[in-house]
Structure 1
Amino acid sequence: MTLVLKNPHKSARKPKGDGHLRRGEILAAAEKIFIAEGYAGATIRKIADAVGVSSTALYMHFRDKDQILLEISDGAIERLLNLNTDIGGRQIDPVSRVRLMLEAYMRFALENPNTYELVFCGSGASISVEKQAGTLELGDRCFEKFSEPFREIAAAGRLRSGTAQSAAEVLWAGCHGLVSLLITKPNRTWSSSEDLMGVMLDGLLNGLVTD
């Protein structure tokens, strides 16, 4: 008897007439393959096999894997921008707005670990700067919205050190570091994520901002 080893990424081929292929299926499959095999190891053929369609059918939706990765990135950043815009519009103390934005950011990361690792933990060097221009601009808009309450805090003389810009960068970097470790080192015995997020925000905000 001859054993035939199946491709672990390959799903059953979708029958003709099964309806149009949803872009979301492609994005979800690509996300997993990018994480498992790296951007270089992922191919259109592997992504198509995982979805259960031909490469030709996949090309009807995306011209290349660069476009797939950038669409995943844009979707994640747009969600965070919407969260920051919503929280930023609330008539509450700017420190409370910062805390809510960072809580929302960390929860997004922990609820979407594959997306977060792919979008925020990679260098992005595999895609040309020209192709990334739109995504980078979207990221700048998201960070700008996050930075607004810091300017209010600084204008009120409440920053213990640094500038509004450097304070925003440090708080974002600290929270990014925490969720990145929780996502990429899941086998370590961590305290609860809620406790860690609370301690992180208490320490950073109390250290940088006066009452």
Structure 2
Amino acid sequence: MTVVLKKPQKSARKPKGDGHLRRGEILEAAEKIFIAEGYSGATIRKIADAVGVSSTALYMHFRDKDQILMEISNDAIERLLALNTQIAAQPVDPVARVRLMLEAYMTFALDNPNTYQLVFCSTGEHISQDKISDLLSLGDRCFEKFSEPVHQIAAQGRLRSGSAVEAAEVLWAGCHGLVSLLITKPSRGWSSSEGLMKVMLDGLLHGLVSD
């Protein structure tokens, strides 16, 4: 599920132009270096070398590695918020809506393991408080959108245990735990991710929600 990363190789210098493509290359390279060497071990020089540009050229796109990390994080959470918003608009039972949202969340994690580790498995302590406030607000919006159908289930009197907030937190925590292990412990010899996701959702939803 995850990529075993070696020391980034220095790429050949690339021609000028294609700025929109270059920005995406920088973000992709930075993700890999952040995971391989940690945030403190990653430097603008290493990221620039991996992309094949000079540090000066990289600074034309990003002022520092904080901005790179914030853009990676914002993009990931915005994508999840868009998925939740799309699913929330579907005319289905709230239990089915919760399941679809959690399936989309876990699929996103497994399809984007480096991004997921960086955004959802790190402490965020290296990001200054003034910069992280907008990110936390976006994350709260994403969780609130996911929580809406859980509150609907609670309003119908179908929760077996706990409050709507507690149920939403447990549902998210269970799925987060599963995908985190699949990503960070790939040598464990897990069963298929599809099967594990189904069992996780069956267990959580049947345990928390009455028919």
Match of 1:82 in 2: 82
Match of 1:32 in 2: 32
Does the 8 Å CA contact 1:48/1:58 hold for their aligned counterparts? Answer: yes
1:80-114 CA deviation, whole Å, 9 max, x = no partner? 00000000111110000000000000000001111
Match of 1:57 in 2: 57
The reply to whether residue 123 of structure 1 matches residue 148 of structure 2 is: no
In the alignment of these two chains, the number of paired residues is 204
CA RMSD of aligned residues (A): 1.1
Match of 1:167 in 2: 167
Secondary structure at 1:203's aligned position in 2? Answer: helix
Secondary structure at 1:187's aligned position in 2? Answer: helix
| Whole-angstrom distance in 2 between the partners of 1:25 and 1:8 | 14
| Whole-angstrom distance in 2 between the partners of 1:110 and 1:57 | 32
TM-score normalised to structure 2 length: 0.94
Structure 2: which amino acid aligns with 1:157?
Answer: G
Match of 2:103 in 1: 103
Q: Residues 52, 182 of structure 1: CA spacing in aligned structure 2 closer, same or farther, 3 A cutoff? A: same
How far the C-alpha of 1:129 sits from its partner, in A, is 1.4
The structure with the largest alpha-carbon Rg is: 1
How far the C-alpha of 1:23 sits from its partner, in A, is 1.0
Does the 8 Å CA contact 1:9/1:46 hold for their aligned counterparts? Answer: no
In structure 2, the gaps of 5 or more residues are: 1-6
| Whole-angstrom distance in 2 between the partners of 1:84 and 1:27 | 24
| Whole-angstrom distance in 2 between the partners of 1:8 and 1:146 | 37
| Whole-angstrom distance in 1 between the partners of 2:46 and 2:112 | 22
The reply to whether residue 143 of structure 1 matches residue 152 of structure 2 is: no
Does the 8 Å CA contact 1:32/1:114 hold for their aligned counterparts? Answer: yes
| Whole-angstrom distance in 2 between the partners of 1:147 and 1:8 | 40
1:43-87 CA deviation, whole Å, 9 max, x = no partner? 000000000111111111111100000100011001100000000
Match of 1:68 in 2: 68
Does the 8 Å CA contact 2:8/2:33 hold for their aligned counterparts? Answer: no
| Whole-angstrom distance in 2 between the partners of 1:104 and 1:153 | 19
Match of 1:3 in 2: none
Does the 8 Å CA contact 1:159/1:209 hold for their aligned counterparts? Answer: yes
Does the 8 Å CA contact 1:106/1:179 hold for their aligned counterparts? Answer: yes
How far the C-alpha of 1:10 sits from its partner, in A, is 1.1
In structure 1, the gaps of 5 or more residues are: 1-6
| Whole-angstrom distance in 2 between the partners of 1:19 and 1:149 | 43
How far the C-alpha of 1:22 sits from its partner, in A, is 2.2
| Whole-angstrom distance in 2 between the partners of 1:134 and 1:23 | 22
| Whole-angstrom distance in 2 between the partners of 1:143 and 1:19 | 36
Match of 2:191 in 1: 191
Aligned identity (percent) is 77
| Whole-angstrom distance in 2 between the partners of 1:135 and 1:61 | 20
